Copies of this chain bind each other. A is one copy, B any other.
Amino acid sequence: MYCYKLLLAYDGTYYGGWQVQPNAPSIQAHLQKAIQTFLNQELIRVIGSGRTDAGVHAVGQVAHFKSEQMIDLNRLRFSLNGLLPKDIRVKKIDHVLPSFHSQYSAIGKEYHYHLYLDPVMDPFRRLYCWHVLRRLDLELLQQAATLFVGTHDFTSFANESHLGSAARNAVRTLYRLDMHPTQGGIRLEFEGDGFLYKMVRNIVGTLIDVASLRKKIEEIQTIFAAKDRQLASSAAPPQGLFLMRVDYPEEVR
């Protein structure tokens, strides 16, 4: 068996998300079909580092699959990019050890969330930002952001996934949550050892409520302590979110 690691970029606008599902096109389904076509219908399963929701984008998603065939990597990349829709691209393919698993081997991830704050939206960024029309106190946003950095139980900022997650450990470490100015808005950068379902979008929703004075900054500690999703704000919309990078330890790369 050979194991192949794929580095992927996709525009999530027209998909129901990463995962195969009955009523919407998915990135996983398109990839699986393209790879099976290339492999002469050998049955394979493409596994991603994590699901991205409908409308969420990826600049550096990682996936893997196993095949009995030894494939030339350049030929595979070229063919897949020919078979896939143009909003899904395979940037790179590597051989990895059979022990590699895009989800279980991952030790870190980076996400970016784009906010657009100018009253008139840039038409070229309408599908790639959350257009926030409320007046924001950016210093307060910055202060609130630092409260999320470090090791916490993020239960209050995680949605129950439909796969069920009740028993899962919700302690995660956020290495950094930085704010960068962009043209017309800001970009929030999240780096951590792992992220729960909708965690980035729930944190962004809460940060915007704090920065627009709908929630007090002191409430953040209370929300953390309560371990109750009901207390945090609504999730920020999907189109502002980008999965930028997935990290793996040296030994499996």
Give residues in A with beta carbon < 8 Å to B. Answer: 9-11, 57, 59, 77, 81, 86-91, 120-124, 126, 128
In the complex formed, the residue of B with least CB distance to A91 is B120
Task: Count this chain's copies in the assembly.
Answer: 2
| A11 partner residues in chain B, CB cutoff 8 A | 123-124, 126
Q: What are 21 of the A-B contact pairs (CB < 8 Å)?
A: A9-B122, A9-B123, A9-B124, A10-B123, A11-B124, A11-B126, A59-B124, A77-B120, A81-B120, A81-B121, A86-B121, A86-B123, A86-B126, A87-B123, A87-B126, A88-B123, A89-B120, A89-B122, A90-B120, A91-B120, A124-B128
Alpha-carbon distance A9/B81, docked complex (angstroms): 32
Alpha-carbon distance A120/B86, docked complex (angstroms): 10
| A88 partner residues in chain B, CB cutoff 8 A | 123
A60 to chain B, nearest CB (A): 12
In the complex formed, the residue of B with least CB distance to A118 is B91
Alpha-carbon distance A88/B59, docked complex (angstroms): 26
Other A-B contacts than A9-B122, A124-B128, 5 sampled, CB-CB below 8 A, are A9-B123, A9-B124, A11-B123, A81-B121, A90-B120
| A57 partner residues in chain B, CB cutoff 8 A | 124
In the complex formed, the residue of B with least CB distance to A85 is B123
| A122 partner residues in chain B, CB cutoff 8 A | 9, 89
| A91 partner residues in chain B, CB cutoff 8 A | 120
A106 to chain B, nearest CB (A): 22
A96 to chain B, nearest CB (A): 20
Alpha-carbon distance A81/B90, docked complex (angstroms): 37
Alpha-carbon distance A90/B122, docked complex (angstroms): 10
Alpha-carbon distance A91/B184, docked complex (angstroms): 13
Alpha-carbon distance A71/B110, docked complex (angstroms): 48
A17 to chain B, nearest CB (A): 16
